[in-house]
Amino acid sequence: SKSICDFSSERMDICNMQGDVRMHGKSATVYVVSVSDDSYRPENGTVKIRPYPRKSEEGTMQTIREVSIRWSELDAPRCTVTHDVPAVVFSTGAYLNNFFHAMTDGIIPLFNTVREYDGHVQLVITDYNRKWVDKFQRILAALSKYPIINFDTDEKVRCFPSMHVGTEGHKEMGIIPALSRKGYTMTDFRKFLRSIYSLKREWSTPVNRTSGDRPRLLMILRRNSRAFANEAEAVAAAIEVGFEVVSAEPQVVSDMARFAEVVNSCDVMVGVHGAGLTNLVFLPRNATLVQVVPWGDMSWGSNAAFGAPSADMGLRYVQYETTPEETTLKYKYPRDHAIFTDVASINRQGYGMTWELFLNGQNITLDINRYRGVLQQIYHDSIMVDTSAN
């Protein structure tokens, strides 16, 4: 029986103990009773882990309940319940009500950690978030055959043959196969999702214009911020190019199972940077994501969140950068304001200022001619329209 802990990652701390491992959730303590001589053993006999994969964000991690892991053969409490499957302890706190973080910090690391057990694993949640559990119930049921244990309120002493504390999160919206213990990829993850939600399309296939078929373009619509101020014109431009347009209001997006089918039926998805673009996980391979990046020097972060992950998922990616003429900030501030002339100075004031001005404080009026040109390029190049019948 072996115990291995890894604290080297910038994103996560994780311990994997095998042998006689006991858990008392209410006191947030895990006892490692017997392991082999070559196992990891901390000098003082105890390590503490906050099981959420955003280790570098100190403020975020302070909100996560700390789990103590004690290597002790003498004072471990006696088992009151014995399990014959491994356990994984993870948090559903911090940002998991946001769909992007729910996937990036929750579901993808959990898949990477427990998929190998084919359902024969016990999920144990600290900072228990019922809303998150309900939303992802179908995914959680596919990962584990057993009822979830609420770590924070559990008074039993549970004994397991092995246990993970923490989940293996590698990067934004992604898995690094070389770091995955079983070599999982985002292709594996997307295949898993297609199976759970019975999604029909693995690939976005060519369209024959002569038959009257139109590729489907999904517009993710926002309402309170980062909305398309000229939404109707944007839809009309896409129809003019040759797309069948599907408009997704926020209330439609909230029903994940039903919306997954809608996303999977589409060949292109367009939206402003935000959590709604996380639905790209349901797009068929070879589909195109068009991310509209708000004004405010957000290119790098937007690409990290959705651009780079698109390649890992077998998707095409187009980044549409908002200009000063396209942001509604131009109606609030003169053109010689730092918001336009020295964006970096605004962002240096901290994320709160970036959020208030650039994320929560603007809508976008697309340059329709420019936008139409982008869609025409996608239509002819990425959709691979078949004109051989002409």
What pLDDT, on the 0 to 100 scale, is given for residue 382?
Answer: 62
DSSP lists the bridge partners of residue 6 as: 14
Chunk the chain into consecutive blocks of 10 residues (it has 390) and report each block's average pLDDT, rounded to whole numbers. Answer: 86 94 96 79 89 96 97 89 98 96 98 97 98 96 98 98 96 96 96 97 85 91 95 97 93 87 97 97 97 97 96 97 97 96 95 94 98 96 55
Domain boundaries along the sequence of the chain: 2-184, 209-381
Is-contact 22 75, C-beta < 8 A?
no
DSSP string, 179-235: TSTT---HHHHHHHHHHHTT---SB----BGGGT---EEEEE--SSSS-BTTHHHHH
What pLDDT, on the 0 to 100 scale, is given for residue 389?
Answer: 43
Nearest residue to 290 (alpha-carbon basis) of 313, 272, 266? 272
DSSP lists the bridge partners of residue 47 as: 69
In order of 146, 161, 200, 345, the CA distances from 127 in angstroms are 19, 24, 35, 37
The two tokens of residue 219 are 């517009």
**CATH among 3.40.50, 2.20.28, 1.10.3470, 3.30.300 for 209-381:** 3.40.50
* DSSP E strand boundaries for 249-303: 268-272, 288-293
Distance CA 11, CA 53 (A): 5
Report angle CA 226, 228, 233 to the nearest 5 degrees. 170
What pLDDT, on the 0 to 100 scale, is given for residue 1?
Answer: 56
Q: For residue 323, report the phi and psi dihedrals to the nearest 5 degrees.
A: -95, 165
Q: What is the 3-state secondary structure (H, E, C) of 103-167?
A: HHHHHHHHHHHHHHHCECCEEEEECCCHHHHHHCHHHHHHHECCCCEECCCCCCEEEEEEEEECC
The two tokens of residue 92 are 């559903």
Is-contact 238 375, C-beta < 8 A?
yes
Is-contact 236 299, C-beta < 8 A?
no
What pLDDT, on the 0 to 100 scale, is given for residue 49?
Answer: 97
